Structure 1
Amino acid sequence: MSAAVDAFLAMLAAERGAAANTLMAYRRDLEGAEETLGELATASRESLARLGNRWADLAPSTVARKASALRQFYGFLLDEGQRQDDPSSALPRPATRRPLPKILSHADVEALFARAELEADSERPSALRLLALLELLYGSGLRATELVSLPLSAVPRDAPFLTITGKGGQQRMVPVSGRARQALSRWLELRPAGGKFLFPSRDKYLSRVRLFQLLKELAARAGLDPAKLSPHVLRHAFATHLLEGGADLRVLQTLLGHADIATTQIYTHVDAARLVALVNERHPLAERRRSD
């Protein structure tokens, strides 16, 4: 990889606080472009235009992500005085529509927890660990990386909160339910000694890949389609079900650790019938009709 790309990634980490997974994604996209075009720092507008044809079979969202990485890279080169022009105008700008998140119904969540709690009754460490993971994913809305990398010191003692370090190193406090605290207590009694992480593993802490596998295996045992379940789907369920229950969007933004409320607004895809009922029940004109 070229020195210019290395410098760009170092800037993202130092100045923008980009998370490790974000840096890896940028690295993959920029390395892929360099494999096609050669040195990106000196690539011409005509060279970049060729990428549109090469990306023709990719999904619009993938093309948009790759093009965004390159635009930011060339913006960096301009700011650093390494180029006097910006060739990224030749890149495609596909129209993308952000998809609605996959969601679980309340019945799906109940089936999942019923199975996890039944297995935890065996007092096997692996079953108790899985129940604690599930409680924190659905009960606190944590991201997969935030969850698996939780330090042991983050476990609440008096206050029912976890201090989470999220994307870009931003910290936030999230509530821990009584159920989750009970599951954590049961897990801590059998957790292997040593290590600084709440969910230790031979590779420092439980990997995100292994977390995905554990959840899909649990879904199958609970009679659910494993394809429907992932850590992020449980985070979506946390947000959607809170919003359905009347949570304020700004509160939800804080709990999820979203820098921009526009990201949180994706969860306003609640049941249309509920919205109609809410208007009919709460609108001032509805009050007048009842009084009449």
Structure 2
Amino acid sequence: MLMKPPAPYLPVPSPALSAEDQAALTDLYIRGTPANTLRAYERDLLYVTAWKAARFDAALDWPEAEATVLAFILDHARNLGDAPPEDSARQTADALIAQGLRKSLACPAPSTLDRRIASWLAFHRMKNLASPFDAPQVKQARAKARRAAARPPAPKSAHPITRDVLETLLATCRGSRRDCRDRAILMLGWASGGRRRSEITGLMREDVSLKEFDKRDVVWLSLLETKTTLKGDTPRLVLKGRAAQALVHWIEVGEISNGPLFRPISKADRVLKRRLSSDAVAQILKHRLKLAGLPDGYASPHGLRSGFLTQAALDGAPIQAAMRLSLHRSVAQAQKYYDDVDIAENPATDLLG
């Protein structure tokens, strides 16, 4: 059942539409907006509302004034730790830090600023209003801020979980139901192409086909949607061998006949009915890293994704073949993992001997 999001995320009522059509438009917005996007909208609306209240002692306007959004860009385009205490941007940042909405006075990452602006822009579109972010001076300031704050991209995981690291984690999974579940999550998350947390926890038992398992040790997975594919456009993915066996073993041990594929397990080792949360995947990985004797923070769940592609490069798998499983939309994005491997093996690096 889809939960109706708060009114700011929905299209404004239009006098040109009948009540029936307005309801249909609202329903379209609800069904067509991913849950992760709704959560980002909620955080961003809270942030920009608090920012304007602290900066101008005023509520948001619809449409917002160009001067206000320009001030927003300028406030987030420099390191405010260097600003004097009486600086209005610093005072605003201090207020947001006190509210727990901002972490520090450092210049936010360009991607963070871009996401908040994108949400703000989306709210204007939902209200059928012209956006102040389309003004030439504002657009130019955004571009300059992005370039001024440019920094080397930080990896989403400190280390990729390559095959040897994965085997170390799997060795910590013994024989309890929790161990069976964690083994299946790690192997499915890695071997099916490096799945994201939301994709792993979003799987239902009905998304798993075991028709070819007895004959070929093959399991087929049907993802509803991913970050790079829309509903209905995601191709089926395959699990083979050990990964397929681990998943089937979990289904049998957990007695998963329908509903969520991966679920919480009680302290008494009893499988619960509700879906496992995305954050739980991070906790599972953290727990397994600790049991394996690896440092805290060694890898995040994205390490399953980066590790799959890194291992594919190490094993000489064509990038197109790896992308068919990882479902990367951009070759350039997937190529980064291959480049990290290839440059170390490039003969040109040994010219000096």
* TM-score for the superposition, normalised by structure 2: 0.66
Question: 2: CA distance between counterparts of 1:41 and 1:262?
Answer: 39
- How many angstroms does 1:17 deviate by? 4.4
Gaps of at least 5 residues in structure 2 are 13-24, 53-58, 79-105, 213-217, 265-271, 349-353
Name which of 281, 286, 294 aligns with 1:211. 281
Aligned positions of 1:1-292 closer than 5 A: 5-7=9-11, 14=29, 17-37=32-52, 38-55=59-76, 56=78, 57=106, 58-74=108-124, 76=125, 80=128, 82-83=129-130, 86-87=134-135, 88-89=138-139, 92=142, 93-95=145-147, 96=150, 97-102=152-157, 103-116=160-173, 119=174, 123-140=175-192, 141-159=194-212, 160=218, 161-165=220-224, 166-167=226-227, 168-169=230-231, 170-192=233-255, 195-201=258-264, 202=272, 204-271=274-341, 272-276=343-347
CA, structure 1 residues 124+256, in 2 after alignment: closer, same or farther (shift >3 Å)? same
Q: Which amino acid aligns with 1:39?
A: L
Report SS of the residue matched to 1:7: coil
Report SS of the residue matched to 1:176: strand
Q: Which amino acid aligns with 1:69?
A: S
Question: 2: CA distance between counterparts of 1:44 and 1:181?
Answer: 56
Contact 2:156/2:300 (<8 A) preserved: no
Gaps of at least 5 residues in structure 1 are 278-292
Contact 1:5/1:73 (<8 A) preserved: yes
What whole-Å deviation, never above 9, does each CA across 1:23-46 have from its counterpart, x for those lacking one?
A: 321332233213333335221111
CA, structure 1 residues 45+5, in 2 after alignment: closer, same or farther (shift >3 Å)? farther
Identity of aligned residues (%): 25
Question: 2: CA distance between counterparts of 1:136 and 1:45?
Answer: 48
- The structure with the largest helix share of the pair is 1
Contact 2:190/2:305 (<8 A) preserved: yes
Contact 1:34/1:40 (<8 A) preserved: no
Task: Tell me whether 164-173 or 228-237 shows the greater mean CA deviation.
Answer: 164-173
